Structure 1
Amino acid sequence: MRGILAALGARPDGARGERVRRSPHFSDGTFHNTAPTRTVTPGGKVLRDYLFGKQRRTPRGEVPLVRPGAPVTDRGLHLTWYGHASALVEIEGRRVLIDPLWSDRCSPAPFAGPKRLHPMPVSLADLPAVDAVVISHDHYDHLDMPTIEHLTRTQSTPFLVPLGVGAHLDRWGVPADRIVELDWEESHQIGGLTLTATEAQHFSGRGLSRNHTLWSSWVIAGEHRRVFYTGDSGYFGGYAEIGHRHGPFDATLMQIGAYDHAWPQIHMFPEEAVEAHRDLGGGLLIPVHWATFNLALHAWSEPVERVWREAKAHGVALAVPRPGERVDVDAPPALDPWWQPLA
């Protein structure tokens, strides 16, 4: 029980709470999206689909994994998707780890909640040294206490998080000098990289309360190369502005899964992910946030099938790596529908 209570994290207080309250995106005790958003209370149709729907929400067999090779040492741009939203960006000789989640479940409890549909392709112990860990928001499928605790012990890297999320890390033993909290459009320099928290359209919360911490997308920029990561977000007009301010991008990591008409404004549908990628001035699109956890009622392979069709219709370059497969953005592999036998 103690571990479960600790996993809930903490609310921002003291100096951290004062900074939260000064944010232009915070009012009446919570953070807010630029545009109003709402979710629809699940009704009878959702319950019927959950109980009797014929969608295959799990793969038919084992998801193929690729064990990552040795870290690259060149000045290029390489992206490794580990599953769900966890990814490694190797950019101009630096490494940025995104939303790391190595636990078997995305939940505060190790015995309940959505369970992995495939193992991680590499152990935490075998991760290379990274220059930064970036967190998009505090939902359990993006911020995992055991993973953060392990990285705190084994790496010396800073954690870059949206405003307020540092309260969770502080409770879990991350030293204060390794926590960097940013509001939208604030940046932090690490070596030759500039990491910028940018707007997203979502929400936050690990317990019964909501929106006491901020959520964000991220720009990872080197001297010559740029990557955008959506975090979790609905489609909104801000992508074009982000592209104007920070793009164009050599590659984007786009959330494509866990969508539903009951929450259309806080998770993108696959077609919207392609539209957002185009708004951003993206080069290569790599879909994330699918295949690893069953978080919605759509079929397991539906997100990638839909994004594949939409990317093809608009001439968008697409790479769909297997978990653990490194993609060289300058020489991406030919599109291989490896997921189809599992659909």
Structure 2
Amino acid sequence: MKRLLIILFSFALIITLTGMTLLNLSRFGQSPKGERLERIGQSANYKDGEFRNLSETPTFTSDKSRFQVMKDFMFRKKIRVTPEDSIPVIKTDIKALNPGDDVLVWFGHSSYFIRLKGKTFLVDPVFSPYASPFSFINKAFKGTSVFHAEDLPAIDYLIITHDHWDHLDYQTVLDLKPNVKHIVCGLGVGQHFEHWGFDPERISELDWYDGMDIGAGWKLTATPARHFSGRGLKRNKTLWASFVLKAPDYNLFIGGDGGYDTHFSAIGEKFGPFDLAIIEQGQYDENWNLIHLLPDQVFKVAEDLRTKQILPVHNSKFALANHPWDEPLNKITENQSGSDIPVLTPQIGEPVFLNDSAQTFTRWWKGLM
């Protein structure tokens, strides 16, 4: 018995030390500390040691236990969650685009480049072929990992909506470091960047409804989202956000991740109407319907925001839920029949010209297995 206890203790010790070693890898980032943590403590959105949503938001929303939900997620029969075919991509030479054009290029999932009135923005870039701390987990769909940091021009503002692995990729931001002039993120997320060697003077961390002037007539404002954060075992130590990018004659909503709530109508009233709203549509499940939008909620969000157009993201690159990979795009185009709000569905890498209301897009996902 004594020998068995020694073996079990040794095994548990090895597992614990291995876990601690992995969690201390640089790619996991670092929890806020020092003056940054003191500032976080003054936020109205931070209570009892963690950030909170405006409304109570349990991660799992079904009547099942947490164990049952995880069992359902892991072992439910998966139908076409990952495409058999390679995703078609247009490998646009972004550096060669006319610098005078207002343009957006989507890289799949929630990553995209924007040039607006000569300023450049990059949102939640993930150029690694996986969305996790390890390359064998959450692999990208075939054909989608064709863009890299060196394909981009200088970036004036790198915008990070939250610190989940599918929105903040360690290797990508390291590759981008020489090319990024300024980083804008939610409270606490800057600790990751500082830990990774970025100059703190280049980092702006915003609470919800904090705004920063970025030029004559320009403003970038962090706005609420209904989600959560975390890269390891600790959750909600950093703030998740959506953003409003207001130029002198263009108004853009950058949605990030998050479920439905009254904050969308509040943002629409305070900052709308919008010329374009980039709204997540993908990786949803009835079991967690408060932290990701369901398909039938997208047009309600668009109406709340008072947007002229929708660009749906959070799809077509990673399988983080159990729905068929193309269901988000099928659902949003089907649901569009009841709305007069146009939906933009570019291929990965296809330029979206923001001032060309006549530009059309194919249903490129149709026919793919």
Provide TM-score, normalisation by structure 1. Answer: 0.94
- Report the AA paired with residue 194 of structure 1: K
The answer as to 2:249 corresponding to 1:217 is: no
Counterpart for residue 274 of structure 2:
249
**Cα distance, 1:73 vs. partner?**
2.2
Out of 58, 65, 68, the position equivalent to 2:82 is 58
Structure with more helix by fraction: 2
CA–CA distance in structure 2, aligned partners of residues 49 and 167 of structure 1? 32
CA–CA distance in structure 2, aligned partners of residues 188 and 162 of structure 1? 12
Percent identity of equivalent pairs: 35
- Cα root mean square deviation, aligned: 1.8
Closer/same/farther in 2, CA of residues 181 and 312 from structure 1, 3 Å limit = same
CA–CA distance in structure 1, aligned partners of residues 47 and 73 of structure 2? 37
- Report the AA paired with residue 301 of structure 1: D
* Structure 1 stretches lacking a partner, 5+ long: none
Counterpart for residue 210 of structure 2:
186
Aligned positions, number:
340
Q: Is the 8 A contact 1:68 1:122 kept in 2?
A: no
Counterpart for residue 272 of structure 1:
297
The answer as to 2:24 corresponding to 1:24 is: no
Q: Is the 8 A contact 2:219 2:245 kept in 1?
A: yes
Superposed, 1:182-331 pairs within 5 Å as 182-192=206-216, 193-331=218-356
CA–CA distance in structure 2, aligned partners of residues 25 and 255 of structure 1? 23
Counterpart for residue 165 of structure 2:
140
CA–CA distance in structure 2, aligned partners of residues 90 and 327 of structure 1? 10
CA–CA distance in structure 1, aligned partners of residues 22 and 67 of structure 2? 35
CA–CA distance in structure 2, aligned partners of residues 16 and 288 of structure 1? 31
- Equivalent residue of 2:279, what SS? strand
Provide TM-score, normalisation by structure 2. Answer: 0.88
- Report the AA paired with residue 197 of structure 2: G
Q: Is the 8 A contact 1:87 1:100 kept in 2?
A: yes
Kindly provide the CA deviation profile for residues 224-245 of structure 1, in whole angstroms up to 9, marking residues without a partner as x.
1011111011011111110111
Larger Rg: 2
**Cα distance, 1:282 vs. partner?**
0.9
* Structure 2 stretches lacking a partner, 5+ long: 1-20
Kindly provide the CA deviation profile for residues 166-221 of structure 1, in whole angstroms up to 9, marking residues without a partner as x.
11111111111111100011112223431111000000111111111100001111
Counterpart for residue 187 of structure 2:
163
Counterpart for residue 103 of structure 1:
128
Kindly provide the CA deviation profile for residues 245-294 of structure 1, in whole angstroms up to 9, marking residues without a partner as x.
11111111110000001111000012212211121011121110001001
Q: Is the 8 A contact 2:162 2:239 kept in 1?
A: yes
CA–CA distance in structure 1, aligned partners of residues 97 and 309 of structure 2? 21
Q: Is the 8 A contact 2:186 2:240 kept in 1?
A: yes
Counterpart for residue 367 of structure 2:
341
